[in-house]
Structures are given as structure tokens and as C-alpha cells.
Amino acid sequence: MNPISRKTIEKLASMGPRFLPFADVATADIPLSRLLRLSLFQVSVGMALVLLVGTLNRVMIVELGVSASLVAVMVSLPVIFAPFRTIIGFRSDTHRSVLGWKRVPFIWKGTLIQFGGLAIMPFALLVLSGGGNSTQWPAWVGQAGAGLAFLLVGAGLHTIQTAGLALATDLVSEESQPKVVGLMYVMLLVGTVLSATAFGAALADFSPARLIQVIQASAIVTIALNIIALWKQESRQRGGVAPNADAPTFRQAWDSFTEGGKAIRRLTVVSLGTMAFSMQDILLEPYGGQVLHMSVAATTKLTAVLAVGGLIGFGWASRVLSRGADPFRIAAYGAWVGVPAFVSVTAAATIQSPLVFCVGVFLIGLGGGLFSHGTLTATMNSAPANQRGLALGAWGAAQATAAGVAIAIGGIMRDVVGRMGLIAGESGAGGYAFVYAVEIVLLLATLAAMSPLVNQSRRVAHA
């Protein structure tokens, strides 16, 4: 690590709990600087998400003229791999490596898979854009290549994130595990903000060649960040670890995790809420470009606005949860914040106000941050000590699967409603407005599904 980075981390670590909500998770054995270094894997994940959900979808829809339905399907392709997060978490709980590691092999394999996707992506986009000699290739080659690249990047980041979060919880005491996972997700948002800002600046003068350079740089940065993050984090058991014949099967571990039905309701709430906050993920930037006539650089920075809102939501949720607040109540607050957020985004088209649009985007991030931290903390609080990876994997699988399905449905609905003219709207805003209305309905359904969990927590508190 270079001296500037080391001094920055030491400065952050010295600020104390007053300014850093997660500073109290550190101990003498596990200083905050070490946790912040580990969290760099989340920065690489955030960078990939900005590319997939932010920059590339707007470029393909607006600049390259690819239909929103096709782009939505491409962006949602990682959902194919998302359900395997539960198995990855379970396997990283029980893995026995000849090198003496449990989590590191999964994180490193995920890094290589993500790098492979980013390596393929520039060539696929070159074919899609018709640049160079790419006109000799049929259109489906570019579409298939882009789909494969999206799938590999998604599979890699799912693997990295699941095993990385499990490793983070391994390093701290049981009572600090929800806090350290919260810290990791805050760093994900920080990485999203920094990446969106950097991409926006790099693409201020947009060209396909400049976009390819940005993707190639992202691939190199991904490898570098994850190597730094993993360096001397997981303790090695010399001589390797022999397979454990008494380890439970995945089915046995899953049955234990879902016993009583509460876990299923929690995962249902996570799925509904995530769909509500994610259906517009690939539509915000095209909406800003097509309806509000914002530039590529301006719409890319919307991802940063969204992430700042999420960062504030995570920070505030962490503060109140550390004082004993009900995590499901915090998640419910997030769902309620989402309702005026989508109303603001819809109203921005009517009054042609980018400012109102940005306020709505910020509130979406704020509500999503509250909801995510609340449901994540509830999941961690209910997880048995030997099922950290499984619990995080189940939460991540529900969230990622719901997000992927919602993104695909959102893009398709936008195209179908817009082309059929079912909703009148200037500048083609009708299809977008329909999607935002559906998201409001999903938020209300989330609140209804969450109500028994909130009421149950209240009864336990009064008992």
C-alpha cells in the first residue's frame, strides 16, 4: 500500500466513533485500518455495479440505440447466478482447502471471473457500436458477447461479495458482526460514489473508444483492489485442513436456517422491497437523458447521488440500530421514504425539472439504505454462529435475484407501455411513469408483509 493510502486510512481510523458510525467495531487485534483495507473488495464490486447498472445501460439505450428490453435482460443476466449465493455462503462455511484457507479461494476465483467479464466487454461493445471492422459481424455476436460479459461480471461480484462478507464477520466478535457487515456495505456505497464520479468525468466527452478505455481500466483496478484487500486477512492453517466428515449437508443446514418459517418471511420481505427499489435501476439514466435531456456525464453522476443517499441511510440506520432500535422498523421507514421518492421522480417529467429528479433519486438511495441495513441486521441477528456465510448468502441471493428480475421486468414494461401508448406522457415519459407507479405498489406490499415482523418485535420488547 502506498504512503498516501496508508496515511488516509490511519487518519480515518483516528477520527473515532463520533464521526465514523462503525469505528467501534475495531479492536486491538483487528484495527479499523485492517477492516477498511478488507472493504476494498466492496469498492471493486461498487465499481462493477456502476458500470453495469449505471453507465453501460444508458450508453447502450441512448447512444448505441439498443432496446431497453434487451438491455434490461443483459443487466439482469447475473440473476441467473444470484441464487447460488446461498450455496457459496454455505460452501465457504464448510470449505477445507489444502492451502489452509476457507474464504480466500472463493474471493480470488470471483475476482478472476469478474476480470474475465470486463476483459470481454470492450470487444462486445465495439461490435454493438459498429466501430472498426465490427460491421463484418452480425448483430447477435455483439449482443451475445455483451450478455456473456455481463453474466461473468455478475457471477464474479456475487462470489466476491458473499465470501468477502463472511470473511469480514470471521474477523470480529459475534456481537460486532452486524456492524462490520454494515461497514462493508457503506464502503460499497463509497466505491459507487467514487466510481460514478470518476466515470462521469472520464466520459464527459463521450466516445466509444473512451468508454472502452474506462472498462479496461476498471478491470485492472479490480484485480489491484482485491489483492490489497485480501493480503494477510485470513489466517492460514499450515498443512491444509482435512475434510470434515461430520459437516452438515446443504439441505440440513438450510432446513435448520428456515426452521419456524420466520426466515422465509424475512426473505420474502427482502425480495419485495428490493424489487420495489430496483425496478428503475436501468431506467433512471435513460429517463434523465431522453425525458429531461441530461448529458451522459450528468446522468452518470446520478449514480453518485443515489449512493450518497444510501450512504446517509446506512449511517443513520447504524446509529439507531446500535442503540437497540428494531431493525424491521428501520426497514419500514425506508419503504415509506421510497413512496415520495418515486412520486418526485415521476413529477420531474411533468415540470421538466432535473432538480426535482435529483431529489427523488437521492430519496430512493436514502430509503434503500434504510431498508437494506434494517433487513441485513435482522438477518445477522437471527443467524446461528456456524451459519454466517449461509445467512449472508441467503440474504444476498434474495436481494440479487429480486433485483435482477425487477430490472428485467422494469425494462420490458417501459418498452411495452411506451409503445402501446397506454399512458400518455410528453417526451416518452409514459412508460417510465408506469414503472415508477408499480414500484410504489410494491413498497406498499412490502410494508404489509413486514407488518407482522414489526409487531412481533414490539411484543417481544414489551414482554
pLDDT digits (tens, 9 = 90+) for 5-44: 555 555 545 544 444 455 556 555 677 778 888 888 888 8
pLDDT in tens, 250-281: 777 777 777 756 778 888 899 899 999 888 87
Which segments of 130-176 does DSSP mark as H helices, in order? Answer: 139-170
- pLDDT the model gives residue 333: 92
The count of other CB atoms within 10 Å of the CB of residue 388 is 23
The count of other CB atoms within 10 Å of the CB of residue 390 is 28
- pLDDT the model gives residue 53: 73
Number of H helices, E strands in the chain: 18, 0
Would you list the DSSP string of 196-236? HHHHHHHTSS--HHHHHHHHHHHHHHHHHHHHHHHTT-SPP
Buried b (16+ CB within 10 A) or exposed e, 354-367: eebbbbbbbbbbbb
Q: CA gyration radius for the chain?
A: 22
* CA angle centred on 418, ends 415 and 420, rounded to 5°: 105
Q: How far apart are CA 238 and CA 214, in angstroms?
A: 41
Which segments of 352-387 does DSSP mark as H helices, in order? Answer: 354-382
Looking up cell 420481505 gives 269
Please state the φ and ψ torsions of residue 30, each to the nearest 5 degrees.
Answer: -120, 85
Q: What is the pTM of this model?
A: 0.69
In the predicted model, residues of the chain with pLDDT beneath 50 are 12, 15-20, 133-134, 239-240, 422, 424-426, 458-463
Beta-carbon contacts of residue 295 (< 8 Å; ≥ 6 apart): 204, 289
The count of other CB atoms within 10 Å of the CB of residue 220 is 11
Q: How far apart are CA 111 and CA 106, in angstroms?
A: 9
From its phi and psi, is residue 25 left (phi > 0), alpha (psi between -120 and 50) or beta?
alpha
Mean pLDDT of the residues in the chain = 77
- Sequence letter at residue 95: H
* CA angle centred on 194, ends 191 and 197, rounded to 5°: 145
Please state the φ and ψ torsions of residue 146, each to the nearest 5 degrees.
Answer: -65, -40
151: closest CA among 393, 400, 398, 365?
A: 400
CB–CB of 178/128 below 8 Å? no
Which segments of 39-95 does DSSP mark as H helices, in order? Answer: 40-49, 56-58, 68-76, 85-94
379: closest CA among 243, 264, 223?
A: 264
CB–CB of 431/417 below 8 Å? yes
CB–CB of 447/328 below 8 Å? no
Q: How far apart are CA 111 and CA 121, in angstroms?
A: 16
C-alpha cell at 197: 464520479
Q: How far apart are CA 375 and CA 200, in angstroms?
A: 31
CB–CB of 83/397 below 8 Å? yes
Q: How far apart are CA 46 and CA 304, in angstroms?
A: 11
Give the chain's end-to-end CA distance (angstroms, integer): 51
CB–CB of 46/188 below 8 Å? yes
